[in-house]
Amino acid sequence: MVSPCGGKVVFGSSFRSYGLLLIVDCGDGYHFVLAGLDRLDASPGQRVLAEEPVGQLGAAEKGGRAPLYLELRRNGQPVDPRDWFTAKG
């Protein structure tokens, strides 16, 4: 798994039933939440680049896909990530 943006890791630990969870502060009030990881390769306080490896997904389920939870938040509220990704190209 790679970071979807450059920024600062603000959380990286196990969280409830999500497994290992990583939150990256992308600036301008945006935070990416990545969950379902089996291993974290980044830690809180660390600066990461866009597309830098930050962890490894969990084991694949039936059908050969590993579950990933991805959420983009702006100012604490979930937002549709399509516009953000489109703007970033």
Q: Tell me, what's the pLDDT at 89?
A: 65
pLDDT tens digits along 42-87? 999 999 999 999 999 877 766 777 788 899 999 999 998 888 778 8
Q: How confident is the model at residue 17 (pLDDT cuts 50, 70, 90)?
A: confident
pTM over 0.85: yes
Output the CA–CA distances (angstroms, integers) from residue 8 to 12, 17, 32, 59, 76, in the order listed.
11, 24, 10, 26, 16
Q: Which of 79, 58, 45 lies closest to 24, judged by CA?
A: 45
Task: Delineate the domains of the chain, giving CATH numbers in brackets.
Answer: 7-88 (2.70.70.10)
